[in-house]
Structure 1
Amino acid sequence: MPYLSKFLSLKRNLFILFLLSTLVSGAQTVRKYSNEFMNIGVDAASFGMGNAVVASSKDVNSGYWNPAGLVNLEDKQISLMHASYFANIANYDYGAFAMPLDDKSAVGLSVIRFGVDDILNTTQLIDEQGNIDYNNISLFSTADYGFTFSYARELPLDGLNVGVNAKVIRRIIGDFASSWGFGLDAGLQFTRGNWNFGLMARDITTTFNAWSIDEDKFAEIQGAVEGQNQELPESTEITIPKLQLGVARQFIFHYDYSLLAEVDLNFRFAETNDVISSSLASITPSAGLEFGYIDLVYVRAGVGNFQNIQQLDGSDSVGFQPNIGVGFKYKGIQVDYALTDIGDQSAALYSNIFSLKLDWSIFR
């Protein structure tokens, strides 16, 4: 029993330290990485192309990738996606709806949820006398929600479209803390022949999150670990802007075969682990290919998220995220699958991503 008590105590302390770091890191004034669940991506077809779709996205999922692409809609569309990360510990879900208003404008609405459910709260497992009481174990969930309203419109210059997003962010960490946030995105797309160009500026207003922290709960978990600071962290969080530039081209072979290729550059205005990094900005590229046959079957491959990684021996290496995928489209129904490595090519776990897109044209 002494060994069990020590093990449970260690497990409890690790949980508390993790929770404290989450609360504190999520409430700093300015963060290089905040609201990162909004940067994971959506749609298995886009994942299959390494998330290099800012120039070529022209469907309901454009509300996320580049709202300017929504003007290409001919009818109403809905999209659903589900993915599990970290051996099914975390669930990532997405749903979107978009429709044209007229032949020059369109609107869209999307919802993202990234959550870890049924987390064991063991802060009260061991009482003041050192006795273990399993009845004191409780469950809680931590979840991040993103609600996005999109509007797109054609501009007088032929081939040039513009779009904007208004985002509401809701983050919940059990009964310990929660926050509300608001931000804006803006996007442009320009088409000339078979060439497509895209620009997506995320969090152009430096998305602001205001945290509400339960002082009693916070003091309770801090008091469970000796020597912890009892001061509450700052209650505001600012997400710095990000910029994505892309160029894409589609090739048609013998009428039946198509090839879509795109290359993107992703900018963060902070020094990070991206493969190109400075105090002014950091840049990581991404690229994707989509091979199609008679607009029915698609095969995709992509790579992105190039990061500088320091190994245990002190040496540096470059990690990246490879992706592959397939898709099937019949009339207005499209089903897509992607296999993606969420970290680098050798260390991280692979994730299976499924998505469904439905076009209202199938009802006519």
Structure 2
Amino acid sequence: MKHFFYTTALLFGASGLLFLAPTAASAQDTTPKYSNEFLNIGVGGRALGMGKVQVSLAQDATAGYWNPAGLLNQKAKYDAVLMHSELFSGIVKNDYAAFSMPLDDKSAIGISALRLGVDDIADTRNLINEYGYIQYDQIRYFSVADYAVLLSYARRIGNIEGLKVGANAKIVYRNVGDFANAWGFGIDAGVQYDKNDWHFGLMARDITTTVNAWTINSEKLNPVPGDPTVIPANSTEVTLPRFVLGAARLVKLPGEFTALAAVDLELTTDGQRNTLVSSKLASIDPRAGLEVGFKNLVFLRGGVSNFQKIKAFTNKEEWKMQPSLGVGVALSGLRLDLALSQLAIEKLGGRTQTNNLIVSLGYGIK
């Protein structure tokens, strides 16, 4: 156990040195609070059904997203996961794919790809011609989408049983039709430790900060005559580090039932957020989940996350949370997971909530 705490302390210390400067008050004043937020929605029916508590539990190809150290826990030699969900009545499409495999008995690799986008947005700036007539053939359509590719590597540390570390190299591409696009690069690091029925994990996202460099196509953004719109200039967008600390325990119940309970604490460093613990320096968002399984074949899941203070109709502020439910079936290497989750898409000025059905399919080849 002492090796786990020693490694965890090292990770916290090294990561802290990297982000001390960007998280100073002056940096927070100039950094967007919700940068690259599409990478924090979550992936996988199991995870989203449990309230996104996965940093200590991830053990298949989705570990490349939640905690790359968990790639060494996968039960199959090769593992692949596909997920699709739709937000806001199908307007926003959320897709995810991942693959992982071991290199040897001490290391593993994985690759993950994500896309969150809105397609077929109508550009009606030229709908009315210079004579005042409507020309429908002048309508143009474009997409707004965010992409990310994560290249993951995990390795066991020496002869310390149960201790694993991992890292992601993250490439981000954000696109707004022909009008603007951005490229970004960042690094994530994670550690997991397993001791009997206990599981612990720590994930440090964007430990070097992730910088998106935006390129604006001013020619395509030319407004219609008389429109006072100011065309933005090329700029950069910085994503500050966030840390997720998790713990879980597996309990064996009578009749070949099992119960897996987990808790995660997510700490953000981009300023004060609407979370249970909030300050100008950092905010902490707790979440909890439970999975009850039968013979490792059928699973029932539930979780709570996104605790936030919301003003009710009575003009009184109340604490609210977002519940989630899920079911899963695992048979002969095939895993089907469904989750119903009330997701919060964070944006500047507040949060937008949406009920979301998540479907994910995983397959492990032994």
In the superposition, the TM-score normalised over structure 1's length comes to: 0.86
Q: What one-letter code is carried by the residue in structure 2 that aligns with 1:169?
A: V
Secondary structure at 2:38's aligned position in 1? Answer: helix
Alignment match, 1:79: 81
User: How many angstroms apart in 2 are the aligned matches of 1:343 and 1:70?
Assistant: 27
Q: 1:177 and 2:186 equivalent?
A: no
Q: 1:353 and 2:358 equivalent?
A: yes
Q: Which consecutive residues of structure 1, in runs of 5 or more, have no partner in the other structure?
A: 1-27
User: How many angstroms apart in 2 are the aligned matches of 1:51 and 1:348?
Assistant: 16
| TM-superposition CA deviations, 1:51-90 (whole Å, max 9, x none) | 0111111111110000011111341100000000000001
User: How many angstroms apart in 1 are the aligned matches of 2:32 and 2:202?
Assistant: 23
Alignment match, 2:206: 203
Alignment match, 1:22: none
Tell whether the 8 Å contact from 1:29 to 1:234 is kept in structure 2 after alignment. no
User: How many angstroms apart in 2 are the aligned matches of 1:256 and 1:48?
Assistant: 22
Deviates more, 1:108-117 or 1:271-280: 271-280
User: How many angstroms apart in 2 are the aligned matches of 1:124 and 1:130?
Assistant: 11
Alignment match, 1:98: 100
Structure 1 residue 321: Cα displacement: 1.6
Deviates more, 1:242-251 or 1:120-129: 120-129
Alignment match, 1:49: 50
Q: Which consecutive residues of structure 2, in runs of 5 or more, have no partner in the other structure?
A: 1-28, 346-351
Alignment match, 1:7: none
Structure 1 residues 311, 126: closer, same or farther in 2, change over 3 A?
A: farther
Alignment match, 2:262: 262
Secondary structure at 1:50's aligned position in 2? Answer: coil
Alignment match, 2:244: 244
User: How many angstroms apart in 1 are the aligned matches of 2:130 and 2:41?
Assistant: 43
Alignment match, 2:20: none
Q: What one-letter code is carried by the residue in structure 2 that aligns with 1:56?
A: L
Tell whether the 8 Å contact from 1:97 to 1:108 is kept in structure 2 after alignment. yes
| TM-superposition CA deviations, 1:282-324 (whole Å, max 9, x none) | 1111000000000110000001011223457753222322100
Alignment match, 1:337: 338
| TM-superposition CA deviations, 1:111-168 (whole Å, max 9, x none) | 0011111111112223345433222211111111110000000112221110000000
- Percent identity of equivalent pairs: 46
Superposed counterparts of 1:52-67, under 5 Å: 52-67=53-68
Structure 1 residues 297, 267: closer, same or farther in 2, change over 3 A?
A: same
Alignment match, 1:315: 316
Q: What one-letter code is carried by the residue in structure 2 that aligns with 1:98?
A: S
In the superposition, the TM-score normalised over structure 2's length comes to: 0.86
Alignment match, 2:120: 118
Runs of 4+ in 1 over 4 A off after TM superposition: 311-314
Structure 1 residue 271: Cα displacement: 1.0
Q: What one-letter code is carried by the residue in structure 2 that aligns with 1:110?
A: S
User: How many angstroms apart in 2 are the aligned matches of 1:29 and 1:102?
Assistant: 45
Tell whether the 8 Å contact from 1:73 to 1:106 is kept in structure 2 after alignment. no
* Aligned positions, number: 329
User: How many angstroms apart in 1 are the aligned matches of 2:179 and 2:234?
Assistant: 14
Superposed counterparts of 1:223-238, under 5 Å: 223=224, 226-230=227-231, 232-238=232-238
User: How many angstroms apart in 2 are the aligned matches of 1:272 and 1:278?
Assistant: 8
Structure 1 residues 224, 340: closer, same or farther in 2, change over 3 A?
A: farther
